[in-house]
């Protein structure tokens, strides 16, 4: 096997243990902690041996993150105490992941949309995955031959706060944000493939539905980037039209109360995003959105105006939907056994190419039923959701939607860039392996 390029500047190791019983697992752990290790290179070698012997199908599984600063004595004590509690069949604490069950259900990949972008997102993985070069080059070619998309995502360090603000604002523009998020999502998708983690189902939030279609094999990378760029540009242009492009408002309230309040005041507003049981987004003409913001305030409901170009997922972006529909026609939709759940219907995309294109073409003007997507995926056996892309927005929504039900929600960018992206990836892989999913841990450096 070729050397894996995922080498953290602060080295990171994954140790993995499995057994038919807790006693067998404890024996493997005891052997590991008793082996001498004079330096971190020795610890890495010890960890590599555990990964080679790990069996994800075993009834008891435990994975452990290690770095040069790790207090292994404290980790050992944490494991000893937690394993004494026979009632705890699954837990995670301080880089330690344990599960004792018959194994998990299916894996669903979820892909974020506009709003999750930030400067330098995914930089650690981009710098370490050789696959990233081809992904960035293809995105740059689709975006603008004169102004590289990659240079906007990964600019030179800002000289001061003013320049930093300019960089962030440029990335926030709709024409840039959407394909930029797509680039980083595809880099993270390639990281998952490197460790043989693949989805059984997929969905996205708004723009992320395009990424989900590509991840499931419904469209090639060339069409994905072409449509990502087209979608972002058409939606950005919709915000520059002479008449009012509209606005959007994020609302923190029981989801079924939001349309009721709108109806009571007769405003030209729709519930554009059904995100979670207590969070939605409304779209409409700017004057009506401002009136609704006052109504929410009077009812002690938190509502925040979103920095977007137009009232997305409403009739006000019809000018963007029409050319996007035309752009879709030249794409090829392939057959796939991986279902992609539609924001519009809450059900998988149709297999028929013409029907699939029609559904995607209407996506810009129709509300995002993210709650329905997650509920349908869960009903169809998906109990592990992996957010493949920047930040953790969807992970939080999924936890709210499935609150009180057994599930696992993991973000590949769990720290949103505040710590090493390689560590975030290691944590995600360790969590998945402990849960019993098939992960090629031997591919970790």
Q: How far apart are CA 273 and CA 281, in angstroms?
A: 5
3-class DSSP assignment, residue 272 = strand
Bin 346: left if φ > 0, else alpha if -120 < ψ < 50, else beta: left
Q: How far apart are CA 29 and CA 54, in angstroms?
A: 12
CB proximity list for 269: less than 8 A, separation 6 or greater = 262, 282, 283, 284, 285, 288, 289, 292
Q: Any idea which residues carry the catalytic annotation? A: 206, 313
Q: What is the DSSP string of 100-134?
A: ESS---EEEEEE--TT---TTTTHHHHHH-THHHH
CB proximity list for 151: less than 8 A, separation 6 or greater = none
3-class DSSP assignment, residue 166 = helix
Q: How far apart are CA 419 and CA 436, in angstroms?
A: 26
* The Cα angle at residue 124 between residues 398 and 185, in degrees rounded to 5: 40
The dihedral through the CA atoms of 443, 105, 425, 340 has a sign that is positive
Tell me the two tokens of residue 71. 């207090």
Tell me the two tokens of residue 270. 């729709």
Q: Which residues pair with 385 in a beta bridge?
A: 108, 409
Q: Which residues pair with 64 in a beta bridge?
A: 15, 96
Strands (E), 239-359: 247-252, 270-276, 279-284, 302-305, 340-341
Q: Among 1, 15, 32, 204, which residue's Cα sits nearest to residue 116?
A: 204
Whose tokens are 């004792």? That residue is 100
Residue 231: C-alpha distances to residues 168, 188, 226, 410 (Å): 20, 21, 9, 28
Neighbours of 346 (CB within 10 A): 18
Whose tokens are 């709108």? That residue is 262
Backbone φ and ψ for 272, nearest 5 degrees, come out as -80, -35
3-class DSSP assignment, residue 266 = coil
């Amino acid at each position: 096997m070729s050397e894996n390029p995922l080498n953290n500047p602060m080295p990171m190791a994954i140790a993995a243990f499995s057994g038919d019983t807790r006693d067998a697992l404890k024996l493997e752990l005891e052997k590991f902690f008793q082996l001498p290790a004079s330096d971190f290179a020795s610890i890495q070698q010890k960890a590599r041996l555990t990964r080679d012997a790990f069996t994800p199908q075993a009834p008891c599984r435990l994975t452990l993150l290690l770095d040069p600063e790790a207090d292994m004595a404290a980790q050992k004590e944490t494991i000893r105490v937690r394993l004494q509690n026979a009632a705890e069949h699954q837990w995670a604490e301080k880089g330690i992941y344990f599960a004792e069950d018959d194994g998990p259900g299916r894996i669903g990949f979820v892909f974020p949309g506009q709003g999750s972008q930030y400067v330098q997102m995914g930089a650690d993985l981009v710098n370490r995955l050789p696959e990233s070069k081809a992904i960035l080059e293809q995105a740059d070619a689709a975006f603008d031959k004169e102004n590289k998309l990659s240079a906007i995502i990964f600019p030179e360090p800002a000289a001061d706060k003013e320049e930093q603000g300019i960089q962030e604002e440029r990335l926030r523009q709709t024409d840039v944000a959407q394909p930029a998020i797509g680039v980083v999502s595809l880099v993270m998708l390639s990281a998952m493939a490197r460790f043989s983690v693949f989805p059984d189902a997929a969905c996205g939030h708004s723009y992320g539905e395009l990424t989900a279609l590509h991840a499931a094999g419904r469209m090639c990378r060339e069409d994905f980037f072409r449509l990502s760029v087209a979608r972002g540009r058409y939606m950005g242009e919709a915000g520059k039209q002479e008449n009012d492009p509209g606005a959007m408002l994020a609302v923190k309230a029981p989801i079924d109360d939001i349309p009721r309040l709108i109806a009571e005041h007769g405003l030209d507003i729709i519930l554009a995003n059904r995100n979670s049981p207590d969070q939605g987004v409304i779209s409409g003409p700017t004057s009506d959105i401002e009136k609704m913001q006052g109504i929410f305030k009077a009812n002690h409901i938190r509502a925040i105006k979103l920095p977007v170009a137009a009232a997305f997922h409403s009739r006000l972006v019809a000018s963007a939907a029409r050319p996007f529909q035309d752009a879709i026609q030249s794409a090829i939709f392939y057959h796939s056994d991986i279902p992609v759940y539609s924001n519009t219907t809450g059900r998988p995309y149709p297999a028929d190419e013409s029907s699939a294109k029609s559904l995607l073409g209407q996506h810009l003007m129709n509300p995002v039923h993210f709650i329905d997507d997650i509920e349908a995926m869960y009903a169809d056996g998906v109990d592990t959701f992996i957010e493949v892309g920047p930040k953790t927005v969807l992970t939080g929504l999924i936890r709210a939607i499935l609150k009180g039900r057994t599930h696992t929600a993991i973000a590949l960018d769990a720290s949103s860039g505040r710590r090493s992206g390689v560590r975030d990836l290691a944590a995600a892989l360790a969590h998945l392996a402990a849960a019993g999913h098939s992960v090629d841990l031997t591919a970790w450096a």
